[in-house]
C-alpha cells in the first residue's frame, strides 16, 4: 500500500507539471488511498473532482473503522466525520455492537487490571493469566489499563496462588540429578466488576503432578509448568465464557479477527463460544476474506484452515488468483495444500506464474502434494526462476512427483548449477516422454 502510494505521488508530481489533470485523477482513483486523495486536494483544490476526493477519504476511513468493528474505532471515525450519511452508519454500527453487550457493560471502554498474588509463586501464575485476558478484551476494543491510570470504566481483579511441586531425579551420568520442579498447583479467582454494581466471579484450580522422567532443568520454582497448570484449571474457558456474556457475539468475532494471534488453547474455546451464541465461524472466516485490511484476510484464511471445510476451496482459489496483497495470495495457496485433492491441477499450475516468489514457492508445495505427472514440465521450467527458494521448491517437487529420490552419493548432487539441473531434468523428460512419470 505504501509503495503504491509513493509511486502515485511521483507520477502525480510529473503530471501536474504537464497540467494533465484528467490523467492525474485517473491515477488517484487507481491508488485509492487517503494519502493519494489528500495530495490531489492539495494540488487541485478548485478541481471539479475535489469534493469527490473528500468523499472518498471519508469512505476509506469508514471502511477501516467498520473493518475493526469496535466502538473506539467507530467513535474515532465520528470525531473526523461528525456529519453525513457515513456518520449515521457509524452511529448505527455502534448501537448494534452495544446492543449485543450485557446492559451493564455497554459504556465500558477501559478495564483496570488489578492483579493480587497471594504468595511469591502467585506472580508466575499472574504472568500466564494477564496475556490471555488482554488478548480477549483488547481484541474486542476494550482497553486494559494499570493501577496508575486515573480513569477506567470497569475493574478486573485476579488473585492467584501457586505452589511449585518438586521431585528428586537420578538421571543418566548425573547431569539432571537432584530436585527439579516439574509440577505445579494453582488457585485463581477472577472478578469483573462493572458499572451498576454488576459483578462476575469465577474460581479455578488446576494441578500438574511432577513428571516421572525429566528431560530439561527445572531448578527453580519459576521453571515449574505454570502454563499447563493454568490450562488444567479451566481458566481460559472460564474467561472466554465471561467475555461471551458481557461482549456478546460481536465481541467474540472481534477476538478471532483481532490484532492478536491466538494460541490454540485460547482460540478453540472462543470458536466454541461463538457457535453456541448463534454465530458461525465459517461465515466469519469467509466474510473476512473480503475485509479491507489484508491482515484480517490472512486471519480469515487461517480460520478456514483450522475448520478443514472443503466447501471453502473455491473462495481460497479466488483469493489466490485475485487478491492484491502477495502475503494473502501466498497464504491462500498454502491453505489449498490442505485440500490438494480438491484443487484443480490447472489452478495450481497457474499459480506458478504469480509475480510474487512466495506464491510460486507455495504453488510448488501444492503440486508436490498433488503428485500429478502433468505438472512435471512447468516445474522443470521453474528451475530457471529468479528466486532461489522457488527453484529449490520446484526441485523437490520434481523429485517427489517422478519418484527420483537422489541419494547423497548420486551424481545429481554434484550439479551445483541450477542450469545444469535444468538440463538434467530436460534430458530425463525426453527419455521418459511416453511413461506415466514423464
Evaluate whether residue 280 is within a structural domain. Answer: no
Rounding to the nearest 10 degrees, give the CA dihedral for residues 276, 91, 299, 290. Answer: 110
Average pLDDT on 171-194 reads: 83
Q: Are residues 171 and 60 in the same domain?
A: no
Model pLDDT, residue 162: 95
Q: Are residues 89 and 132 in the same domain?
A: no
Q: Are residues 93 and 179 in the same domain?
A: no
Evaluate whether residue 277 is within a structural domain. Answer: no
pLDDT digits (tens, 9 = 90+) for 310-330: 999 999 999 999 999 999 999
CA–CA distance, 80 with 245 (Å, rounded to integer): 32
Model pLDDT, residue 209: 93
pLDDT digits (tens, 9 = 90+) for 338-372: 999 999 999 999 999 999 999 999 999 999 999 99
Model pLDDT, residue 414: 54
- Which 3-state string (H, E, C) describes 367-385? HHHHCCHHHHHHHHHHHHC
Evaluate whether residue 288 is within a structural domain. Answer: no
The residue among 246, 273, 306 that closes a domain is 246
Rounding to the nearest 10 degrees, give the CA dihedral for residues 17, 22, 27, 32. Answer: 120
Q: Are residues 140 and 232 in the same domain?
A: yes
Of 81-85, 180-184, 325-329, 349-353, minimum mean pLDDT range: 81-85
The residue among 83, 103, 123 that closes a domain is 103
Evaluate whether residue 149 is within a structural domain. Answer: yes
- Which 3-state string (H, E, C) describes 183-234? EEEEEEEEEEEECCCEEEEEEEEEEECCCCCCCCCCCCHHHCCHHHHHHHCC
**Helix/strand/coil for 425:** helix
pLDDT digits (tens, 9 = 90+) for 256-294: 988 788 888 889 999 999 998 888 999 999 999 998 888
Q: Are residues 217 and 160 in the same domain?
A: yes
CA–CA distance, 363 with 372 (Å, rounded to integer): 13
Average pLDDT on 79-89 reads: 87
Model pLDDT, residue 320: 95
Greater pLDDT, 119 or 47: 119
Q: Are residues 108 and 86 in the same domain?
A: no
CA–CA distance, 373 with 365 (Å, rounded to integer): 14
Of the CA atoms within 13 Å of residue 282, those in its CB half-sphere come to 8
Residue 184 has pLDDT above 50, yes or no: yes
The residue among 246, 267, 302 that closes a domain is 246
Q: Are residues 117 and 155 in the same domain?
A: yes
Model pLDDT, residue 161: 95
What percent of the chain is predicted at pLDDT more than 90? 35
Q: What is the CATH number of the domain that holds 221?
A: 3.30.160
Model pLDDT, residue 18: 44
Model pLDDT, residue 47: 83
CA–CA distance, 182 with 216 (Å, rounded to integer): 10
Evaluate whether residue 51 is within a structural domain. Answer: yes
CA–CA distance, 263 with 134 (Å, rounded to integer): 13
**Helix/strand/coil for 32:** coil
Greater pLDDT, 272 or 217: 272
Q: Are residues 97 and 114 in the same domain?
A: no
Contact 104, 195 (CB under 8 A): yes
Per the prediction, the chain carries an average pLDDT of 85
Cβ-count burial 273-303 (b if 16+ within 10 Å, e if not): bbeebebebeebbbebbebeebebbbbbbbb
Helix axes 388-402, 418-431, angle to 10 degrees: 30
Model pLDDT, residue 425: 83
Evaluate whether residue 197 is within a structural domain. Answer: yes
Question: pLDDT band at 143, cuts 50/70/90?
Answer: confident
Residue 17 has pLDDT above 70, yes or no: no
Evaluate whether residue 207 is within a structural domain. Answer: yes
> E strand or H helix at 350, and its extent?
helix 345-350
Model pLDDT, residue 151: 84
Question: pLDDT band at 16, cuts 50/70/90?
Answer: very low
Q: Are residues 108 and 242 in the same domain?
A: yes
Average pLDDT on 78-93 reads: 86
Model pLDDT, residue 436: 55
CA–CA distance, 200 with 111 (Å, rounded to integer): 14
* 100: number of Cβ within 10 Å: 16
Evaluate whether residue 56 is within a structural domain. Answer: yes
Tell me the range of 84-88, 103-107, 403-407 where mean pLDDT is highest. 84-88
Q: Are residues 174 and 124 in the same domain?
A: yes
Host domain of residue 180: 104-246
Residue 64 has pLDDT above 90, yes or no: no
Q: Are residues 91 and 122 in the same domain?
A: no
The 8 Å CB, 24+ separation contacts for 37-44 are 39/8, 39/9, 39/12, 40/12, 43/12, 43/16, 44/16
Model pLDDT, residue 205: 95
The edge-to-edge listing of strands for the beta sheet with 143-145 is 143-145, 110-117, 154-169, 178-194, 198-208
Question: pLDDT band at 187, cuts 50/70/90?
Answer: very high
Q: Are residues 127 and 178 in the same domain?
A: yes
Model pLDDT, residue 319: 95
Model pLDDT, residue 332: 96
pLDDT digits (tens, 9 = 90+) for 383-419: 888 998 998 899 889 988 988 766 555 555 555 566 7
> E strand or H helix at 117, and its extent?
strand 110-117
How many domains does the chain contain in total? 2
Question: pLDDT band at 19, cuts 50/70/90?
Answer: low
Greater pLDDT, 16 or 182: 182
Amino acid at each position: 500500500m505504501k509503495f503504491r502510494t509513493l509511486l502515485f505521488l511521483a507520477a502525480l508530481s510529473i503530471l501536474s507539471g504537464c497540467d494533465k489533470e484528467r490523467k492525474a485523477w485517473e491515477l488517484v482513483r487507481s491508488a485509492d488511498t487517503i494519502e493519494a486523495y489528500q495530495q490531489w486536494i492539495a494540488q487541485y483544490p478548485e478541481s471539479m473532482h475535489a469534493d469527490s476526493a473528500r468523499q472518498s477519504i471519508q469512505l476509506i476511513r469508514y471502511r477501516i473503522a467498520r473493518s475493526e468493528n469496535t466502538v473506539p474505532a467507530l467513535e474515532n471515525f465520528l470525531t473526523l466525520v461528525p456529519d453525513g450519511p457515513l456518520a449515521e452508519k457509524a452511529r448505527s454500527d455502534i448501537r448494534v455492537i452495544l446492543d449485543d453487550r450485557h446492559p451493564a457493560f455497554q459504556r465500558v471502554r477501559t478495564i483496570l487490571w488489578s492483579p493480587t498474588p497471594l504468595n511469591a509463586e502467585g506472580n508466575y501464575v499472574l504472568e500466564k493469566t494477564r496475556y490471555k485476558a488482554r488478548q480477549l478484551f483488547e481484541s474486542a476494543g476494550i482497553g486494559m489499563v494499570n493501577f496508575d491510570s486515573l480513569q477506567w470504566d470497569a475493574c478486573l481483579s485476579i488473585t492467584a496462588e501457586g505452589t511449585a511441586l518438586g521431585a528428586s531425579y537420578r538421571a543418566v551420568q548425573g547431569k539432571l540429578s537432584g530436585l527439579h520442579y516439574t509440577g505445579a498447583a494453582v488457585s485463581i479467582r477472577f472478578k469483573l466488576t462493572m458499572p451498576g454494581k454488576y459483578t462476575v466471579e469465577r474460581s479455578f484450580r488446576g494441578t500438574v503432578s511432577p513428571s516421572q522422567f525429566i528431560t530439561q532443568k527445572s531448578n527453580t520454582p519459576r521453571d515449574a509448568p505454570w502454563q499447563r497448570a493454568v490450562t488444567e484449571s479451566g481458566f481460559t474457558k472460564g474467561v472466554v465464557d465471561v467475555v461471551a456474556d458481557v461482549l456478546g457475539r460481536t465481541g467474540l468475532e472481534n477476538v478471532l479477527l483481532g490484532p492478536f494471534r491466538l494460541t490454540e488453547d485460547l482460540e478453540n474455546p472462543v470458536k466454541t463460544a461463538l457457535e453456541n451464541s448463534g454465530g458461525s465461524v465459517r461465515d466469519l472466516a469467509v466474510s473476512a476474506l473480503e475485509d479491507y485490511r489484508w491482515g484480517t484476510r490472512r486471519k480469515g484464511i487461517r480460520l478456514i484452515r483450522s475448520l478443514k471445510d472443503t466447501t471453502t476451496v473455491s473462495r481460497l482459489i479466488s483469493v489466490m488468483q485475485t487478491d492484491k496483497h502477495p502475503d494473502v495470495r501466498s497464504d491462500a495457496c498454502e491453505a489449498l495444500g490442505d485440500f490438494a485433492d480438491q484443487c484443480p491441477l490447472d489452478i495450481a499450475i497457474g499459480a506458478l506464474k504469480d509475480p510474487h516468489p512466495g506464491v510460486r514457492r507455495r504453488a510448488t508445495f501444492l503440486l508436490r502434494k498433488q503428485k500429478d505427472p502433468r505438472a512435471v514440465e512447468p516445474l522443470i521450467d521453474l528451475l530457471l526462476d529468479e528466486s532461489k527458494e522457488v527453484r529449490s521448491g520446484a526441485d523437490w517437487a520434481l523429485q517427489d512427483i517422478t519418484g527420483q529420490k537422489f541419494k547423497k552419493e548420486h551424481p545429481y548432487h554434484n550439479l551445483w548449477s541450477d542450469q545444469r539441473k535444468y538440463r538434467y531434468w530436460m534430458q530425463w523428460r525426453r527419455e521418459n516422454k511416453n511413461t506415466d512419470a514423464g
